Amino acid sequence: MAIGTPPRPSEAGAKRAGLARRSSFLLLGLVVLGLAVLASIAFGSHPTSLSEVVAVLNGTADPDITTVVESRYPRTALGLLAGLCLAVAGTLMQGVTRNPLADPGLLGITAGASAGIVTATAFLGATGQWAAVWWALAGALVAGVVVHVIGAVGSGSGLVRLVLAGAVVSAVLGAYVQAVALSKPQVFDSYRYWVVGALGGRDVGVLMSVLPAAAAGLVLAVLLSSGLNTLALGDESASALGANPALTRSGGLLAAVLLSTAATAAVGPIAFVGLAVPHMVRALVGIDFRVQIVFSAVIGPALLLLADVVGRLVLRPQELMVGVVTAFIGAPALLLAVRRMKGTS
């Protein structure tokens, strides 16, 4: 070592420093998530003070205030689930496709859920929250499977075929939805509320109906996280390291389909959460998918709940749907992502 040259930190020291940094960010994220949950319970179209919320939690509040605060529990729980699902699904999509602009809509999930709801309402007479959730769930799953099957057939790059298949299926289903919704006014009236994306107006039954798909997708995402790290090196390198790129990619896509399907069926299509959160996470903790999935599961719900709180407050006593708020937040994130891509190309 040359005189005057400072010694390089050891690899173990660097790992400890990285772990401490990630732990600090995770703790901060959990604090923000906790504050977002508290804000979601405390604030709404009906003004309530923090002391009243505490009284409700202690069981000593006025019955009217208790009813108001407890009515916010289901939408808070839905915000937690939907934010987690969309953020983790976006992380998986961007990792599997190696496309930093990928989001759950890339697989035709949103279009499939919309087609399921429109079909059930127009031709099968389905009404109510449960019917909408189940038909949206079925439509989104079918669309995701069709896109995956089409993308797996033919020659050329599998990722390119997958993206093209998603675009084609989304375009066809979008045209179908528009044709049916515009020709049947009663369908349009129910569809226009769902298509914006909102956490309000749903009960705990909606959460329970999509919970199995969300849980299965999250478990699969965690199990595949190490394989996604290997897949990021390229198919040849992944194969040389003993991984199965095709199996890992299919599993990652299946997990993304399950997660985004659960979120979309429960609260409608909410844009930009699946796009913006993975970029925020990578900027904080790097490219390790094992860490990305954990942080996405924390930041995604916090972002969605805070957006919902903003939507409740800006037009009080009316509400701005959370899908509109996330679009305003996510559009700048999309522009920043495009600028980063341009700067690194």
| 142 is a domain residue | yes
Do 203 and 92 have their domain in common? Answer: yes
Q: If you compute the radius of gyration of the chain from its CA atoms, what whole number of angstroms results?
A: 22
The span from the CA of 117 to the CA of 130, in Å, is: 11
Instruction: Decide which of 51, 71, 91 is a domain's last residue.
Output: 71
Which range, 50-64, 129-143, 213-227, has the best average confidence (pLDDT)?
Answer: 213-227
User: Would residue 66 count as lying in a domain?
Assistant: yes
Domain range for 60 is 35-71
Statement to judge: residues 193 and 216 lie in one domain: yes
Are residues 201 and 52 both part of a single domain? no
Q: How many residues does the chain have?
A: 345
Instruction: Give the chain's end-to-end CA distance (angstroms, integer).
Output: 36
Same domain assignment for residues 179 and 314: yes
Whether 67 and 110 map to the same domain: the answer is no
Check whether residue 211 and residue 325 sit in a common domain: yes
The residue from 45, 71, 97 where one domain ends is: 71
Q: In angstroms, rounded to a whole number, what is the distance separating the alpha carbons of residues 299 and 284?
A: 11
3-state secondary structure of 113: helix
d(CA 311, CA 216) in angstroms, rounded, equals 31
Burial category of 69 from C-beta neighbours within 10 Å (exposed 0-12, middle 13-18, buried 19 and up): buried
Contacts of 12 (CB under 8 A, 6+ apart): none
Q: Are residues 78 and 48 in the same domain?
A: no
Block residue for tokens 């959370």? 322
- Both 259 and 331 in one domain: the answer is yes
Judge whether 15 lies within some domain: no
Highest mean pLDDT among 20-29, 30-39, 171-180: 30-39
Q: Give the C-alpha separation, 203 to 213, whole Å.
A: 18
| Same domain as 249, residue 317 | yes
Give the model confidence (pLDDT) of 70-126 as tens digits: 888 899 999 999 999 999 999 998 888 887 777 877 778 888 988 888 888 888 876
Assess whether 162 and 44 both reside in one domain.
Answer: no
In a domain, 19, yes or no: no
Please indicate, yes or no, whether residues 52 and 199 belong to a single structural domain of this protein: no
Counted domains in the chain: 2
Answer whether 321's CB lies under 8 Å from 262's CB: no
E strands present in 158-203: none
CA distance 213 to 252: 14
Tell me the per-residue pLDDT of 175-218, one tens digit each, with 9 for 90 and over: 998 888 888 877 777 777 777 788 887 888 888 888 998 999 99
For the chain, what percent of residues have pLDDT higher than 90? 22
Q: Which residue has the higher pLDDT, 27 or 253?
A: 27
pLDDT at 37: 94
Instruction: Identify whether residues 52 and 103 lie together within a single domain.
Output: no
What is the overall mean pLDDT for the chain? 82
**Has residue 24 been placed in a domain?**
no
Q: What is the CATH number of the domain that holds 246?
A: 1.10.3470.10
Residue 297 lies in a domain: yes
